[in-house]
Structure 1
Amino acid sequence: MFRIGFGIDFHQLVEGRQLWIGGVNIPHHKGALGHSDADVLLHAICDGLLGALALGDIGMHFPNTDPTYKDIDSKILLQHCYALISSKGYRVVNVDSSICLEAPKIKKHSPEMRKLIAEILEITIDDVSVKATTTETMGFVGREEGLVAYANVLLQKL
């Protein structure tokens, strides 16, 4: 039995914050604003995992009103979501994701992102796709006010 999950996440970009995407700290003059480290890609993958098994969403499991999660490393959140789906008897088959941001370019960082995500989800790097696109300077992403990530996740019953 297979289950498909879809996740999406948005974060504002602001001065004075680090930019974490896919578990990698990327040098940039702006970073994502959020209660946690605001890793938009890992949050989208978390929502994809949770959504595939109708387990709610990232906000339900890690509320931004809980000081426990203040500035938490999103790799920990992803590990928790993976443990939840594993406890339900599922494994991850693959992850396909896209990040929308005008800058910085992340192509050189995507192999490390794929490696980190694959390790956490106990799959191979070839089972993790991380793509990026711009919005051709349109909208809040194009004005570098924020970024968006989308993730599709395929799960298989063990």
Structure 2
Amino acid sequence: MKIKVGFGFDVHQLKEGHPFVLGGVLLDHHKGAFGHSDADVLAHAICDALLGAANLRDIGHHFKNTDERWKGISSLILLTECVKMISEKGYAINNVDAMLCLEAPKINPHVPKMKLQISRAMGIDVDDISIKATTNETMGFIGREEGVVAYAVCLIQK
């Protein structure tokens, strides 16, 4: 058996009047993430973790932000595509551990629904997905609510 670990990171600006999608869940907030797709930093970080573990480069290589096919697309679709790519190389997902960093809104109430959405997109059990959140203690661009960051690690096996 071959076991590999992957790490993913993503960041997006927060802008007034934009929808805020995290983990496939639309959050009620006055600001939202800005990007080419739905700007779901959590899904993007998980995509990069999976792709990295399978040595398949990164999300930007496969889903370019200049390609109109990906404009406004749900990042859960991109996540499903990444799972297909690693499956084609013979890998299965053991687990994903993710961390969100933002000041607001509070994430804890949304974690169960995020885990459900991500588990459906990835075809894995909800218990194999961990999502945590923290603030930046009001420091920097995160503290000023100018951006949101997500980190993810995954374990895959062949």
Q: What TM bracket, shorter-length normalisation?
A: over 0.9
Q: 1:34 is matched by which residue type in structure 2?
A: G
Match of 1:70 in 2: 71
Aligned 8 A contact 2:91 2:157 in 1: yes
Q: 2:30 is matched by which residue type in structure 1?
A: H
Match of 1:122 in 2: 123
| CA deviations over 1:70-99 (Å, ceiling 9, x no partner) | 111101100000000011111100000000
Shift in Å, 1:118:
1.4
Instruction: Give the alignment of 1:12-51 within 5 angstroms.
Output: 12-51=13-52
Give identity over the alignment, percent.
Answer: 60
Mapped partners of 2:84, 2:125: distance in 1: 17
Secondary structure, aligned partner of 1:132: strand
Instruction: Give the alignment of 1:5-154 within 5 angstroms.
Output: 5-154=6-155
| CA deviations over 1:100-145 (Å, ceiling 9, x no partner) | 0000001010001111111222221111000000000001000000
Aligned 8 A contact 2:77 2:121 in 1: no
Mapped partners of 1:64, 1:136: distance in 2: 31
Secondary structure, aligned partner of 2:155: strand
TM-score (norm 2): 0.98
Q: 1:113 is matched by which residue type in structure 2?
A: M
Shift in Å, 1:54:
1.1
Q: 1:12 is matched by which residue type in structure 2?
A: Q
Instruction: Structure 1 unaligned segments of length 5 or more: list them.
Output: none
Instruction: Structure 2 unaligned segments of length 5 or more: list them.
Output: none
Query: Runs ≥4 in structure 1, deviation > 2 angstroms?
Result: none
| CA deviations over 1:54-75 (Å, ceiling 9, x no partner) | 1010101000011111111101
Mapped partners of 1:36, 1:121: distance in 2: 18
TM-score (norm 1): 0.98
Q: 1:50 is matched by which residue type in structure 2?
A: L
Q: 1:47 is matched by which residue type in structure 2?
A: D
The alignment's C-alpha RMSD in Å is 0.6
Q: 1:139 is matched by which residue type in structure 2?
A: G
